[in-house]
Amino acid sequence: MRGESIHLQKARVAFPLIACERRRLVRLDLPAPASQTNFMAHTYLLFDFGTDEEKAQLARQKLERWKQAFRLDKKLQYKLERPEDEAKAHPEQAHEAAETAKTEKPKAKSKAKHKSKESEVSEETPAANRKVNLLIRLYFSGHEKLTEQRWLDRIPSEDPFKEASPRVIRHGEEQFEEVDKQFDSLG
């Protein structure tokens, strides 16, 4: 009996705890409040600079200045796409392009301290002949629609971006998934 009384005492002590837990569970069956995080759709801007590496670098520098000045770290992201990425996908074509670049390059004199202008131009031509694309991702939340629209209007109208045939691809368009994968793959 003495063992039962200890058991009953333990049950009495445990019972109020169970009752408290049940009261808390009753409150948890209410519907959960709405999520505080909203879906933020990406918008992509695609620019094709052709073989003009200099304008692509000017555009990249301008984007960097805007990111710092307007604190757009995560909201404005960009990546440059070059044919080197295509060369990785097609190694035969990259090997042939490298061979042609080697045969076209004239030999510089070993005694000269400074490179001649001709050799500098010939070394830059393989880099200048590469196609350069710029992908910009704008990532604004729902309450920043006006800001997003201002950036969508501003970026293509600025100087280095004007001649690069800008294209805007919004969430839900046919090409969006393809461009999103391409942006992520450029890493």
Q: Cα angle at 154 between 150 and 156, to 5 degrees?
A: 130
Q: What is the pLDDT of residue 117?
A: 43
The confidence band for 97, taking pLDDT boundaries of 50, 70 and 90, is very low
Query: Is the pLDDT at 93 greater than 90, yes or no?
Result: no
Tell me the two tokens of residue 102.
């080697």
Output the CA torsion sign for 79, 80, 81, 85: negative
Q: Would you tell me how many other CB atoms lie within 10 Å of the CB of residue 48?
A: 16
The confidence band for 110, taking pLDDT boundaries of 50, 70 and 90, is very low
Ramachandran region, residue 129 (left: φ > 0; alpha: ψ -120 to 50; beta: rest): alpha
The confidence band for 107, taking pLDDT boundaries of 50, 70 and 90, is very low
pTM of the model: 0.59
How far apart CA 12 and CA 6 sit, in angstroms, is 10
Range of weakest confidence among 9-13, 131-135, 180-184: 9-13
Q: What is the pLDDT of residue 86?
A: 54
Q: What is the pLDDT of residue 2?
A: 52
Range of weakest confidence among 71-75, 81-85, 131-135: 81-85
Beta bridge partners of 169: 44
Tens digit of each residue's pLDDT (9 = 90 or more) over 5-62? 665 555 555 555 455 555 555 555 667 666 666 566 789 999 999 999 999 999 999 9
Mean pLDDT, residues 122-148: 79
Q: What is the pLDDT of residue 55?
A: 95
Q: Cα angle at 135 between 179 and 81, to 5 degrees?
A: 95
